[in-house]
A and B are shown apart, each in its own frame.
Chain A
Amino acid sequence: MDYALVQAANGLVLGIIFAVIAVGLTLVFAVLKIVNFAHGELYMMGGYFAYYAIELLGLSPFPALAAAIAASFLLAALLERTLLTPLYSETTERKAEYGILITFGLSVALRNLALIVFGPFPLRPPSFVAGVQQWGPLILTNDRLVAGGVGLLVLMAVVYIMSRTAAGHALDAVSQSRESAAIVGIDPRLAYTLGFGLGGALAGAAGALMGPIFSLSPSMGILPDTQAFVIVILGGMGSVPGSIVAGILIGLLESLFTAFFPDPTRALSYSNAFGVLILMVILILRPTGLLGRRHMQME
Chain B
Amino acid sequence: MRRVRVPVVLALAAAAVIYAQVVSSYWLHIAIVSMIYGILAASWALLAGYAGQFSFGHMAFASLGGYTSALLVQWTHLPIPLGMASGTVVCAVLGSLIGWVCLRMRGPYLAIFTLAFAEIVRIILLTEYAVTNGPAGLRVPHLLGTPAKLPYYYIALGLLAVCLVTMSALAHSRWGFFFRAIREDEEAAAASGVHVVRAKMYAFAAASSFAGLAGAFYAHYIGILTPELGSPDQMGLVVAMAILGGIESLPAAVGGAAGVETLQEALRSAGAWRFVLFGVLLLVTMRFFRNGLLQPAWQRLMHPGASEGKVT
Contacts and interface: CB of A to CB of B under 8 A. Distances in A.
Interface of A: 34-35, 37, 82-83, 86, 94, 96-102, 104-113, 115-116, 222, 226, 229-230, 233, 266, 269-270, 272-273, 276-277, 279-280, 283-284, 287-289, 298
Nearest to B243: A101
Contacts of A104: 56, 111, 236, 239
Nearest to A117: B276
Interface in B81-129: 101, 104-109, 111-113, 115-117, 119-120, 123-124, 126-127
Contact of A105 (B115, B239, B272): B239
Given A101-B286, A112-B272, A289-B109, A107 B236 contact: yes
B282 interface: yes
A283 B104 CA distance: 9
Given A109-B276, A109-B280, A270-B123, 15 more contacts: A35-B108, A35-B112, A37-B111, A83-B287, A96-B108, A100-B108, A104-B56, A108-B278, A108-B282, A112-B275, A266-B127, A276-B123, A277-B120, A283-B109, A298-B106
B286 A105 contact: yes
Chain B residues touching A, range = 35 or more
Nearest to A286: B104
A276 B119 contact: yes
9 contacts: A35-B112, A37-B115, A101-B54, A104-B111, A108-B236, A108-B278, A108-B279, A113-B276, A116-B272
Interface string B66-77: 000000000000
Nearest to A233: B112
Nearest to A289: B109
A108 B115 CA distance: 14
A102 B283 contact: yes
A294 to B, nearest CB: 14
Interface of B: 48, 52, 54, 56, 101, 104-109, 111-113, 115-117, 119-120, 123-124, 126-127, 232-233, 236-237, 239-240, 243, 271-273, 275-276, 278-280, 282-283, 286-287, 290
A115 B272 contact: yes
Contacts of A83: 283, 287
Nearest to A265: B127
Contacts of B232: 107-108, 222
B127 A229 contact: no
